[in-house]
Structure 1
Amino acid sequence: MARQLFVKEVVSFIVPVLNEEKNIKDTIDTIENNVPYEKLDYEIIIVDGGSIDRTVEIAKSFTEDNKKIKIYSCGGVKGFGHAYKIGVSMSQGDYIILIPGDNEVAGEAIQDILNEVGTADIIIPYFVNQNIRSLFRRCISRTFVWILNMISGVKLHYYNGTVLYRSKVLKGYNIRTSGFAYQAESLINLIKAGFTYKEVATKIQQRSSGKTKIFSFSNITSVMGFLISVYCQQISGKLFKKTNYFSKTNDFRKNGLSEISVPDEINYIAVFLTFNCNLKCGYCINNYEKGILKKGNISGEQWVRGLNRLKLRHNLPVTLQGGEPTLHKDFYYIIENLKPEIEIDILTNLQFDADKFISKVHPGRINRDSKFHSIRASYHPSMMDIDETIVKVSKLQEAGFNICLSSVAHPDSKAEIAEAVEKSKRAGITFFQKDLLGFYNGQLYGSYKYPEAVMCQTKKNVRCRTDELLIDPRGIIHRCTRDVYIDANPIGYLLDPDFKVEYKYRYCPNFGYCNPCDIKLKTNRFLQKGHTAVDIDFIE
C-alpha cells in the first residue's frame, strides 16, 4: 500500500486466518467500525495460513474496493507466528496490532487499546472476562503466564493478546518463534530491553463460528519448546541482553531476514517498483491483461531490506522498472541504499528531470560492465517528441551514463520510428527496435517459441519453469508475467524471512492464455538468440 494514502498516524492490523470464511467479514467490519478516525487511520493485512474454504475469496472481495486492505495468500505459512511475521514485514503503519481472523476481539477491546496509542511503546491488553472461555483453556493460559513470569522476571497479566507496538520497536526486533509463542517472546525481550509498556484491561467476545486452533499439536509443541528454550537461556545467562534496536542500518540480517541465494539459472530480475505511468500508450504490454493492475507499492525502506537479501552473481542486475520506476516516491533512496554488490539497470520512459537524476545518481552506480546498456529508455512516438528525447539522452550520456533508446515496432508508427532511428544515429545514440507483441488488427505480432501459447483459444495443463525473478510493486513474487499483471498464483514474498528462490517446474492450467513476454524469442545475458523466459513441459 502506498504510504501516501494516509495523513494521520496509521495502525496496521495484522489478521492471520485459517479457514475463517464465516468470521473474516465480521472481523474486518469490527476493525473498521472501531478505529478512532479523528486521530488515526488504518490498514488491514490479512495473512492466510493455507485455507481450503472460501476465506481467501471473501477477503479478496474487500480488497477490490478498499486499497487499505491487503492479503497475503502465497502459501508456505508455517504457523501463527510466521503469519504474524509476514504481516509485520508487509506493514507500513506507525503502530502494529494483531487481530485474529476469528472475530473474538470485540470492538470495545479495539477501542480500549487504540485509546492508549502513544502512551507507551507497547500496549498490552489482558481480558477481564476470561470466564467465557472453557475451564481447561483458562487453566492452560494461567499456567503459561505463571511459568513465564517466574522464569523471565517480567510480571504480566497475559502474553498472547492483541498487543499493540510502535512499528519501529517491533521491526527492530528479530522474532525467532514461528509458532504460537511468538508474542510472549517479543514481549519479554522488548520489555527486558527497556522499552516502555502499559497493560490495559478489556474484554473478549465469543467467536461466532468454528473452534479455536490454539490446541493444535504444532502449537502445543511450539509453546513447550519455547518455554524450554527460555528456561535454558535464562539459567545460562544468555537471555535478555540489552540491544540498540534503533541503530540505523540497511543490513538485512539486523532486520530478521536471511540471505537469499539466487540460482545461477536465473537470467533476469524484474523489480516492478510501481505500475503507475505518466504515459498512456495504447499498445502497452502492461495493459495486455485487460488492464487488471494492482495498486499500492511497498516503501523504499522495504525494497532496500528485501533486495539487499539477494546474493547475486556478477552481471545479474536488479532491473528497476514499472510502469515508470522513477514515479516511486523513494526511487532515489532505493538506488542510494542498495548494497554496492547489487548491480542496477533501469527501464524508463525518461519522463523525469534529467538534472535531478544526474545530481542524485552517480553514473558508476548505474554502469555495469556488460554489452547491455544499463539504462534502457523507451521512446513512444505518440507521446514523446524525438528531438526533446535526444537532448535528454545526450545530457545523460555526457554525464557518464550508459544509456540507449528503444521503441516498439508498431505498424502505425513506422515513419516516426524511422525518423527517430536516423536522428539517434546522427547524435551517436544507440537505438533498438523491439517487436510489437500480441494481436493487433487481427494479426499476431512477435516471434514465439510456443505460438499457440498466446492464441487465447484453448487451455492446456502444462508445467512451466521460468528463469526470471518477477517482483511486483507490493513485493509479491510471481512465476510469470501473466501472473504479475493479473495478481494470480504468487509463489512468495520478498520480505518473508523464509522465502527461497527455486528454479523448478510448476503446474499451470493456463497454457494458451500466456502473456507474450513470457514466451517471446529474445537474446539472453550471453547474447544468445532464441532464448525464452519460460520453458514449457507438456504433460497432456
Structure 2
Amino acid sequence: MDISVVIPLYNEEESLPELTDWIRRVMNQHNFSYEIVLVDDGSTDTSWSVIEKLKTQHEQISAVKFRRNYGKSAALNVGFNIAEGDVVITMDADLQDSPDEIPELYDRVMNKGADLVSGWKQKRYDPLTKTIPTKLFNAATRSMSGIHNLHDFNCGLKAYKKDVVKSIEVYGEMHRYIPVLAKWAGFTNIQEQIVQHYPRKYGTTKFGAGRFVKGFLDLMSIFFVGKFGKRPMHFFGAIGSISFVIGFFITLFLIFEKLMSIANGTPYRNVTDQPLFYLSLVAILIGTQLFLTGFIAELVSRNSADRNKYHIAKVI
C-alpha cells in the first residue's frame, strides 16, 4: 500500500464527508493505493454515525472510536499502530489542511529520502492570540531540539516513512513535538514543506488557551526525556552528588573550625548554633534524595507499559 492517511478527530461531523471525498479524488487522480484511518477521540456529536455511513461508501476507510476524549496524541498513536502504508500522512479533520498537498509530501518521503516532512502554514488564518504564542513555542523548540529548519512543529499536516511512526511513541500531549521524537529515535532527515492553510469551514477550534501552558510543560518534558530518558541517573545523580558534596564539605569545614578554636584556646560557637550548618544539612539531605530518585528512575524508566493503553469502544 502506498499511503495511509491518519486523521484524528473530535466533533467534526460536518467536515468528514467533504474531507474523505477530497482525499479520494486526490488519490484516484494520482493512482495511489491508500487507506484512510479515522480515529474518533470520543466525539459527543454524530461523528461516529457519519463515519459508519462513510465506511459503507469507501472501502478504504477504517476507523477507531475511543470511549472518551483522550487527546490528539492518543489518537495519533493508535492511528500509527494501525497504518500500513509505506508513507503515512497525518492531517486534521477540520478542512484547514489540504489533501492536494499529499502527492508532493509522498514524493519527498518516497523518492527524495526524507524521513519526515512537516508542513509550514506560512500564511495562517488563525487569530493573533494563537499565532504569536505558537511562534514563541516554535522558536524555543528549535533552540532546544537543534532542529533549526522547521518553522511550525505543531502543523497537523505531516508525512512520515512507515519506519518512523512504528518507532516512536506519542503520548500525553507530545503530538506537538513529533519531529523531536523522530530525531531522538534516529531519524534525522527532517524536512519542511510550505502548505496551504484554509480558514475553518465548520464548527470552532477544540483547543483553548490552556494548551500553551501544556505546550511549555511538554517542551520541558520532551527535552528531559530526549536527553536523560534512558539515563535519568546522569541528571538526578549528578545534581544530587554535587549538592551532597557541597553540604558535606561545609560541615567538615565547620567541624574543623571548631576543633582549631579549641586547640588554640580561642572562643568558638557550637556547630549547631551556626545557620551555615543547617544549610549544609539541607544540601546533604537534598543531594541524597536526588541521588536515590535517579537510582529509582533508572529502575522504572523502561516499565511504562500502560502509558498508551486506551479503552476502545468500536473498531470497523
**TM-score interval, normalised by the smaller of the two chains:** 0.5 to 0.7
Matched position secondary structure for 2:89: strand
TM-score (norm 1): 0.41
Q: Which amino acid in 1 is paired with 2:9?
A: V
Are positions 1:167 and 2:159 aligned together? no
Question: Once the two structures are superposed, what CA deviation does each residue of 1:318-349 show, in whole Å capped at 9, x if it has no partner?
Answer: xxxxxxxxxxxxxxxxxxxxxxxxxxxxxxxx
Q: Which amino acid in 2 is paired with 1:188?
A: V
Which residue of the other structure, out of 23, 27, 30, is the alignment partner of 2:22?
Answer: 30
Matched position secondary structure for 1:40: coil
How far apart are the structure 2 equivalents of 1:171 and 1:232? Answer: 22
Query: What's 2:97 paired with?
Result: 105
**Are the equivalent residues in 2 in contact too, given 1:42–1:93 (CA < 8 A)?**
yes
Are positions 1:258 and 2:301 aligned together? no
* CA shift in 2, pair 1:500/1:40, >3 Å: closer
How far apart are the structure 2 equivalents of 1:216 and 1:92? Answer: 35
**Structure 2, unpaired ranges of 5+:** 232-302
Query: What's 2:259 paired with?
Result: none
Query: What's 2:267 paired with?
Result: none
Give 1:160 shift. 1.3
TM-score (norm 2): 0.67
How far apart are the structure 1 equivalents of 2:133 and 2:192? Answer: 21
**Are the equivalent residues in 2 in contact too, given 1:44–1:69 (CA < 8 A)?**
yes
Aligned pair count reads 237
**Are the equivalent residues in 1 in contact too, given 2:88–2:159 (CA < 8 A)?**
yes
What is the percentage of aligned positions where both structures have the same residue? 19
Question: Once the two structures are superposed, what CA deviation does each residue of 1:364-423 show, in whole Å capped at 9, x if it has no partner?
Answer: xxxxxxxxxxxxxxxxxxxxxxxxxxxxxxxxxxxxxxxxxxxxxxxxxxxxxxxxxxxx
Alignment of 1:184-203 (within 5 A): 184=177, 186-192=178-184, 193-203=186-196
Matched position secondary structure for 2:100: helix
* CA shift in 2, pair 1:500/1:147, >3 Å: same
Are positions 1:44 and 2:39 aligned together? no
Alignment of 1:152-231 (within 5 A): 152-155=145-148, 156-161=150-155, 162-175=157-170, 177-179=171-173, 181-184=174-177, 186-192=178-184, 193-215=186-208, 217=210, 219-231=211-223
Give 1:183 shift. 4.1
Query: What's 2:126 paired with?
Result: 133
The structure with more helix, counted as a fraction of residues:
2
Alignment of 1:331-346 (within 5 A): none
Query: What's 1:290 paired with?
Result: none
How far apart are the structure 2 equivalents of 1:498 and 1:154? Answer: 30
Matched position secondary structure for 1:64: helix
**Are the equivalent residues in 1 in contact too, given 2:137–2:216 (CA < 8 A)?**
no
Give 1:113 shift. 2.1
Give 1:112 shift. 3.5
Give 1:14 shift. 1.1
How far apart are the structure 1 equivalents of 2:187 and 2:305? Answer: 26
How far apart are the structure 2 equivalents of 1:32 and 1:43? Answer: 10
Give 1:231 shift. 4.3
Alignment of 1:21-420 (within 5 A): 21-35=13-27, 37-38=29-30, 40-118=32-110, 119=112, 120-130=114-124, 132-155=125-148, 156-161=150-155, 162-175=157-170, 177-179=171-173, 181-184=174-177, 186-192=178-184, 193-215=186-208, 217=210, 219-233=211-225, 237-238=227-228, 258=305
How far apart are the structure 1 equivalents of 2:166 and 2:83? Answer: 10
Give 1:215 shift. 2.1
Question: Once the two structures are superposed, what CA deviation does each residue of 1:58-113 show, in whole Å capped at 9, x if it has no partner?
Answer: 11111013221011114144111101111111212112121111111123333442
Q: Which amino acid in 2 is paired with 1:497?
A: N
How far apart are the structure 2 equivalents of 1:74 and 1:148? Answer: 30
How far apart are the structure 1 equivalents of 2:311 and 2:41? Answer: 18
* CA shift in 2, pair 1:140/1:33, >3 Å: farther
Matched position secondary structure for 2:63: strand
Give 1:121 shift. 1.5
Give 1:178 shift. 2.7
Matched position secondary structure for 1:16: strand
Matched position secondary structure for 1:136: helix
How far apart are the structure 2 equivalents of 1:16 and 1:95? Answer: 17
**Are the equivalent residues in 2 in contact too, given 1:109–1:204 (CA < 8 A)?**
no
How far apart are the structure 1 equivalents of 2:310 and 2:165? Answer: 20
* CA shift in 2, pair 1:110/1:134, >3 Å: farther
* CA shift in 2, pair 1:211/1:37, >3 Å: same
RCO higher in structure (CA 8 A, sep ≥6): 2
Give 1:148 shift. 0.3
